[in-house]
Homo-oligomer: A and B are copies of this chain.
Amino acid sequence: MALHDAQLVHQECSSCPIRHRAVCARCETDELERLEQIKYYRSYQAGQTVIWSGDRMDYVASVVTGIATLTQTMEDGRRQMVGLLLPSDFVGRPGRDNAAYDVTATTDLVMCCFRKKPFEDLMLRTPHIGQRLLEMTLDELDAAREWMLLLGRKTAREKIASLIAIIARRDATLKLRAAKGQITFDLPLTREEMADYLGLTLETVSRQISALRRDGVIHLEGKRHVTIPDFDRLIEEAGDDSDGGMVS
């Protein structure tokens, strides 16, 4: 409610929560200053569409707080999520004028935006930005390939277990805790969004969550709050080899 208009937030890069993970992570203080000059913030409330696929997009951005999704839609309405953006993740593509996917805020969202042209210019003069962006893009490509295995070959039950494990890990990373022992967190997605992530229907998602709960793999309080009594058991249900994509 308080954030439905843009540009209400502002802060210094030096105290930014994503300072050391985002596209600016490798920048020296002088490079940061130049970025600081061209940046501005935008806020969206949960549920708002940030941009539609095909729309002109004259900026790129980092997610500062909150969660956003990238989705593709077919003419008949079938939807597939193709990206889940957490704090520090990058949105948009330098050198591209139009958005390739729908971007939606699933929680209240704050983004740190850079107008595309100045950002591209700065990239040419500041190798550290391009280097970090390459690293992040390669990470995303790895994640996408893990996701392809899930979509192409896993059963509904394994898909759900995998998603819960992914969220648990990311949550642990953000909170800087190890993803072992008793773990507790909130699902940031509705059943329908999970279905879009997993290539399932929301009914199947609901059924499989119920099944995992019945089997004691997860505990649920309300619809969103999850506790995982045994993380290894969850990983086993996900069908992953145990390392689980903890890419160095």
| Residues of chain A having any CB pair with chain B under 8 Å | 70, 72, 74-76, 78-80, 82-83, 93, 95-97, 100-101, 124, 127, 130-131, 133-135, 137-138, 140-142, 144-149, 151-153, 198-199, 239, 241, 247-248
> Which residues on the B side are within 8 Å of A148 (C-beta)?
72, 80, 82, 144, 147-148, 151
A191–chain B nearest beta-carbon distance, Å: 16
Q: Give the contacting residue for A138; candidates B72, B78, B137; CB below 8 A.
A: B137
User: Are A142 and B75 closer than 8 Å at their CB atoms?
Assistant: no
- Say yes or no: A135-B95 contact (C-beta < 8 A), given A145-B83, A148-B148, A149-B80: yes
Looking at A127, A138, A145, A198, which has the most chain B CB atoms within 10 Å of its CB? A145
- Say yes or no: A130-B134 contact (C-beta < 8 A), given A72-B149, A149-B80: yes
State in angstroms the CA–CA spacing of A215 and B65 once bound together. 51
Q: Across chains A and B, which 8 residue pairs bring their CB atoms closest together, nearest first?
A: A152-B199, A151-B151, A82-B145, A144-B144, A80-B152, A80-B149, A78-B153, A151-B152
A169–chain B nearest beta-carbon distance, Å: 17
A246–chain B nearest beta-carbon distance, Å: 12
Q: Give the contacting residue for A153; candidates B101, B133, B146, B199; CB below 8 A.
A: B199
User: Are B140 and A141 closer than 8 Å at their CB atoms?
Assistant: yes
A35–chain B nearest beta-carbon distance, Å: 18
Q: Report 8 cross-chain contacts, Cβ distance below 8 Å, ordered by A residue.
A: A76-B239, A80-B149, A82-B148, A100-B247, A101-B145, A137-B141, A144-B145, A147-B148
